[in-house]
Structure 1
């Protein structure tokens, strides 16, 4: 690829770097919708939704990274994804994600029975994170 037609992507969490690569397309879901970022895109700063970041590696394949919110910043052909948690598809522990899903579902029921809105919202976020990880692991 021509140097002007590539961008560098870095995905980091508080625990360190999760992913780094060069590409000509990254697709991610922000809190206001899905965006595709290509080289020479206008500078951007956006909040990320609990979803996946897809990085094009060739004409038919994408690397997939599960992210649990955070933000994305793009400038000078460098895309930085800063997430509270992120996992590459191949490192997702499916049984752990299944257990997290079951725990979250149980916590949702308990919170509903107790009319506890705060615990309900927290459990719903945990459930979305677990489902996101499971969905990405199955692609």
Structure 2
């Protein structure tokens, strides 16, 4: 069976390292599915839910909340370098919910002051919190 090694690295170290038969990521150009023997690729990633189909069981799927970064595919090694990434099993849903509420309040406050930069930062924080909630609920 053909497979590829998938590694997710953050400033905190290696967050994920398994063999997979398929992964789905979201680049800035859209959704991309990657199978073994994929052409070499380097692309920026969006905030998204990465789906990884492991080789140990066709029904075994891991979900990882990836908050941007880059992907490199070369010789059946897929490396994701991200500011932060969390596996579904590691996500604290209540903490993510609090981050979501905090971001929503920051958006309202920044909009009332017409501070576009603060609005954009809070919108990014909201997208990340929603991504973590979605992955954590899988």
1:37 CA drift (Å): 0.6
1:137 CA drift (Å): 1.0
2:25 aligned with 1:43 = no
In structure 1, the partner of 2:58 is 59
1:46 CA drift (Å): 0.7
- Compute the TM-score of the two structures, normalised by the length of structure 1: 0.95
2:83 aligned with 1:84 = yes
* DSSP 3-state at the match of 1:8: strand
* DSSP 3-state at the match of 2:107: helix
Q: Which runs of no fewer than 5 residues in structure 1 stay unpaired? A: none
Q: What are the residue-to-residue correspondences of 1:1-139 with 2, within 5 Å?
A: 1=1, 5-57=2-54, 58-139=57-138
* DSSP 3-state at the match of 2:36: coil
* DSSP 3-state at the match of 1:115: coil
* DSSP 3-state at the match of 2:89: helix
* DSSP 3-state at the match of 1:121: helix
* DSSP 3-state at the match of 1:21: strand
* DSSP 3-state at the match of 1:9: strand
CA offsets per residue over residues 2-59 of structure 1, 9 Å max, x none? Answer: xxx1100000001100000001101111111000111111000111110111110232
CA offsets per residue over residues 43-94 of structure 1, 9 Å max, x none? Answer: 0011111011111023223100001100100001100000000000000011
Q: Which runs of no fewer than 5 residues in structure 2 stay unpaired? A: none
1:138 CA drift (Å): 1.2
Supply the RMSD in Å over aligned alpha carbons: 0.7
In the alignment of these two chains, the number of paired residues is 136
